[in-house]
Structure 1
Amino acid sequence: MADVTKTRAVVLGGSIAGLFAARVLADAYDEVLIVDRDALIGVDGPRRSCPQGKHINGLLARGQLAMEEMFPGITEEIFADGVPTGDLAGDVRWYFKGKPIKQQDAGLTCVSASRPMLEKHIRRRTNALENVTFVEKHDILGVTTSEDKRRITGVKVQRIGTKSAEKVLSADLVVDATGRGSRTPIWLEELGYGRVEEERKKIGLGYVTQHYRLTEDPYHGDLSINPVASAALPRGAIFTKTDGGRVELTTYGLLGDHPPTDQAGLFEWLKTLSTQDIYNAVKTAEILDEPVAFRFPTTLRRRYEKMDRFPDGLLVVGDAVTCFNPVYAQGMTVSALSALTIRGHLHSGATPDPKLYFADLARDVIDPPWEMTNTVDLSFPGVEGNRTFALKVQQFFLSLTQTAASRDGDVAAAYMKTAGMVAKPESLMQPKILFKIIKAVLFGRKNQAVPRSAASPKVTALPGNNAVTEEKKAA
Structure 2
Amino acid sequence: MSKLLGTHAIVIGAGIGGLATAKLLSSHFAKVTVLERDAFADRAEPRVGTPHCRQAHVLLKAGLVELLSFYPELERELELAGAVRARTAVDILIETPGIDPWPQRDFGFYTLCMTRPLLEFVVRSLTAKQANLDLQPQCRVTKLQLSGGQRVTGLTYEQAGAAREITADLIVDASSRGNMTLETLDACGIPRPDEMDIGVDIVYGTGLFRLSENASRSWRGVIHRPAPASGRGGFVFPCENGSWQVTLNGMHNDGPPEDLPGFIAFAKTFRTATIYDALKDATPLGAIHRFAFPSSRRRRFEALTAFPQGLLPIGDVICRFNPAFGQGMTVAAQEVGVLRRLLDERVSTAAPLEGLAGAFFKAIQSVLAAPWSLAESDFIYDKTRGARPADFAQRMQFSGALMRLAVEDAGVHRLLTEVNHLIAPPTVLRDPAIADKVTARMAAST
2:170 is aligned with 1:167: no
Give TM-score, length-normalised by structure 1: 0.86
Q: What residue number does 1:225 align with? A: 222
2:363 to 348, 360, 384: 360
Q: What residue number does 2:373 align with? A: 371
Gaps of 5+ in 1: 444-475
Give, in whole Å, the separation in 2 of the partners of 1:64 and 1:433.
28
2:320 is aligned with 1:319: no
Which residues of 2 match residues 161-240 of structure 1 at below 5 A? 162=161, 164=162, 166-180=163-177, 182-216=179-213, 220=217, 222-240=219-237
Change (3 A) 1:6 1:41: farther
Which residues of 2 match residues 249-328 of structure 1 at below 5 A? 249-328=246-325
One-letter amino acid of the counterpart of residue 51, structure 2: P
Q: Deviations over 1:420-470 (max 9, x none)?
A: 111122211224444665788999xxxxxxxxxxxxxxxxxxxxxxxxxxx
| Conservation of the 8 A alpha-carbon contact between 1:202 and 1:384 | yes
Q: What residue number does 2:347 align with? A: 348
Per the TM alignment, residue 217 of structure 1 is displaced from its structure 2 partner at its CA by 5.7
Q: Deviations over 1:103-128 (max 9, x none)?
A: 21223321101101100111011001
| Conservation of the 8 A alpha-carbon contact between 2:236 and 2:247 | yes
Q: What residue number does 1:133 align with? A: 134
2:408 is aligned with 1:411: no
Q: What residue number does 1:7 align with? A: 7
Give, in whole Å, the separation in 1 of the partners of 2:237 and 2:190.
45
| Conservation of the 8 A alpha-carbon contact between 2:113 and 2:237 | yes
Q: What residue number does 2:93 align with? A: 93
Change (3 A) 1:290 1:41: closer
Which residues of 2 match residues 75-94 of structure 1 at below 5 A? 75-94=75-94
| Conservation of the 8 A alpha-carbon contact between 2:397 and 2:442 | no
Give, in whole Å, the separation in 2 of the partners of 1:356 and 1:269.
47
Q: Deviations over 1:328-348 (max 9, x none)?
A: 011000110111111122132
Change (3 A) 1:102 1:440: farther
Q: What residue number does 2:382 align with? A: 381
| Conservation of the 8 A alpha-carbon contact between 2:398 and 2:438 | no
| Conservation of the 8 A alpha-carbon contact between 2:6 and 2:169 | no
SS at match of 1:378: helix
Moved more, 382-391 or 324-333: 382-391
Q: What residue number does 1:121 align with? A: 122
Change (3 A) 1:285 1:16: same
| Conservation of the 8 A alpha-carbon contact between 2:398 and 2:442 | no
Give, in whole Å, the separation in 2 of the partners of 1:196 and 1:434.
36
Q: What residue number does 1:103 align with? A: 104
| Conservation of the 8 A alpha-carbon contact between 1:39 and 1:137 | yes
Q: What residue number does 1:399 align with? A: 400
SS at match of 1:30: strand
CA RMSD, 1 decimal: 2.2
Give, in whole Å, the separation in 1 of the partners of 2:179 and 2:57.
20
Per the TM alignment, residue 49 of structure 1 is displaced from its structure 2 partner at its CA by 0.6
| Conservation of the 8 A alpha-carbon contact between 2:62 and 2:423 | yes
Moved more, 72-81 or 111-120: 72-81
Moved more, 220-229 or 404-413: 404-413
Give, in whole Å, the separation in 1 of the partners of 2:421 and 2:325.
9
- Specify which structure has the bigger relative contact order, considering alpha-carbon pairs within 8 angstroms and separated by 6 or more residues: 1
Per the TM alignment, residue 191 of structure 1 is displaced from its structure 2 partner at its CA by 2.2
Q: Deviations over 1:62-82 (max 9, x none)?
A: 101101111112112212222
Give, in whole Å, the separation in 1 of the partners of 2:261 and 2:204.
16
Give, in whole Å, the separation in 2 of the partners of 1:277 and 1:290.
22
Q: What residue number does 1:331 align with? A: 328
Change (3 A) 1:358 1:441: closer
SS at match of 1:145: strand
Moved more, 295-304 or 214-223: 214-223
| Conservation of the 8 A alpha-carbon contact between 1:104 and 1:410 | no
Per the TM alignment, residue 230 of structure 1 is displaced from its structure 2 partner at its CA by 2.3
Change (3 A) 1:219 1:144: farther
Q: Deviations over 1:45-98 (max 9, x none)?
A: 001111111111111111011011111121122122221112222221001115
Gaps of 5+ in 2: none
Give, in whole Å, the separation in 2 of the partners of 1:388 and 1:120.
39
Change (3 A) 1:97 1:198: same
Give, in whole Å, the separation in 2 of the partners of 1:439 and 1:104.
25
Give, in whole Å, the separation in 1 of the partners of 2:338 and 2:35.
21
One-letter amino acid of the counterpart of residue 227, structure 1: H
One-letter amino acid of the counterpart of residue 22, structure 2: A
Change (3 A) 1:268 1:327: same
Moved more, 316-325 or 36-45: 36-45
Per the TM alignment, residue 299 of structure 1 is displaced from its structure 2 partner at its CA by 1.4
Give, in whole Å, the separation in 2 of the partners of 1:167 and 1:248.
40
SS at match of 2:105: coil
Change (3 A) 1:314 1:169: same
SS at match of 2:179: coil
SS at match of 1:65: helix
Give, in whole Å, the separation in 2 of the partners of 1:437 and 1:23.
44
Q: What residue number does 2:245 align with? A: 248
| Conservation of the 8 A alpha-carbon contact between 2:401 and 2:441 | no
Give TM-score, length-normalised by structure 2: 0.92
One-letter amino acid of the counterpart of residue 173, structure 2: D
| Conservation of the 8 A alpha-carbon contact between 1:100 and 1:406 | no
